[in-house]
Amino acid sequence: MTTAPARWSAGRLLRWIFGLQLVFGAVLLGSDIARILPQVAMPSSAPAITQPLGPGDQTRRYDPARIDQRPARPGSRPIPASTDMPSRLDFSDTVWQGEPTITLTGRIAPGDADRLTDFLTTVDPAPTQAFLNSPGGSVQDALAMGRVLRDLGLATRMTASDICLSACPYLLAAGTTRSVEDGALVGIHQHYFGENTALPAFMAVSDIQRGQGEVMEYLADMGIDPLIMRPALATPPDEIYLLTPDEMQRFRLTTDAD
């Protein structure tokens, strides 16, 4: 029996496949543009992240590319002084208040989980605490790094000048004890899980459900109240919901020192 593809020449078949790839690529690009355009044409009207919080006024504009490091008093934190926020995590080790310490500063980029694992093999003595200062980034890498920090039994800490937004709170959640000084900013929102609206709906929904499932499992493993996801899911990706100290305690994102 002769099938239709068998009657095609090899050249024609290759041209057809190449054309199909071009069409699919154009659709994917168009989908990404369609997803981004509303944010460009109608950006968030929420206040800037630098504006003070008030009761019921905790949503701020979020653009990780425009978030710089906050000024800190000299000697108030172990994180290296700099005005620019690194485009991917910068790791350092030091001794802070007599404790072997590591610091994680910058955006969380794909591959940073592997970089952290490599970095930790060079740290001696083994750290007991990790200081965080990050506007967020790759959720998958944040979850992987969080499990590494928990396996090592590290405490996670933030000083008054630090920020921990988007995917970064998953690192904060990993600490065996978790402390956030007054003035630090901890924020949550919706995440992308690699979905693209040009894909069939069941595939996009599957990606989202799988990603949310991984997050919920992670929060349970870390002892965090899953209700923390309620304000997160209500906040779009171009905005950030800043948690109050009371909320962090209620959701068990912070712990008592004793």
- pLDDT tens-digit readout, 191-203: 865 544 444 444 4
Residue at 256 is within a domain: no
Q: Are residues 9 and 134 in the same domain?
A: no
50 class by beta-carbon count within 10 Å (0-12 exposed, 13-18 middle, 19+ buried): exposed
Q: Are 160 and 133 in contact (CB under 8 A)?
A: no
Residue at 258 is within a domain: no
* Average pLDDT of the residues in 141-163: 98
Q: Are residues 241 and 121 in the same domain?
A: yes
Q: Are residues 118 and 169 in the same domain?
A: yes
Q: Are residues 102 and 204 in the same domain?
A: yes
Q: Are residues 174 and 228 in the same domain?
A: yes
Q: Are residues 54 and 25 in the same domain?
A: no
Domain range holding 23? 4-40
Other Cβ atoms within 10 Å of 183 Cβ, number: 12
pLDDT at 161 over 80: yes
- pLDDT (0 to 100) of residue 208: 65
- pLDDT (0 to 100) of residue 195: 43
- CA 186 to CA 171: how far, in whole Å? 11
Shortest CA distance to 123 belongs to which of 144, 147, 154?
154
Q: Are residues 22 and 52 in the same domain?
A: no
185: left (phi over 0), alpha (psi -120 to 50) or beta: beta
- CA 214 to CA 191: how far, in whole Å? 12
Residue at 176 is within a domain: yes
Which residues lie closer than 8 Å to 163 by C-beta, 6 or more apart? 67, 70, 133, 134, 135, 184, 185, 186, 187
Alpha-carbon distance values, 65 to 50, 72, 88, 119, 245 (Å): 15, 20, 11, 25, 26
Residue at 102 is within a domain: yes
Model confidence, pTM: 0.79
Kindly report the CATH number assigned to the domain that includes residue 125.
Answer: 3.90.226.10
- CA 232 to CA 139: how far, in whole Å? 14
Q: Are residues 122 and 23 in the same domain?
A: no
Helix (H, G, I), strand (E, B) or coil at 158: strand
Q: Are residues 129 and 152 in the same domain?
A: yes
Reported as a single tens digit per residue, the pLDDT across 70-118 is: 888 888 888 877 778 999 999 999 999 999 999 999 999 999 999 999 9
Number of structural domains, the chain? 2
pLDDT at 14 over 50: yes
pLDDT at 50 over 90: no
Q: Are residues 120 and 18 in the same domain?
A: no
Q: Are residues 24 and 120 in the same domain?
A: no
Q: Are residues 190 and 210 in the same domain?
A: yes
Question: Which of 10-24, 35-49, 207-221 is predicted least confidently?
Answer: 10-24
- pLDDT (0 to 100) of residue 213: 86
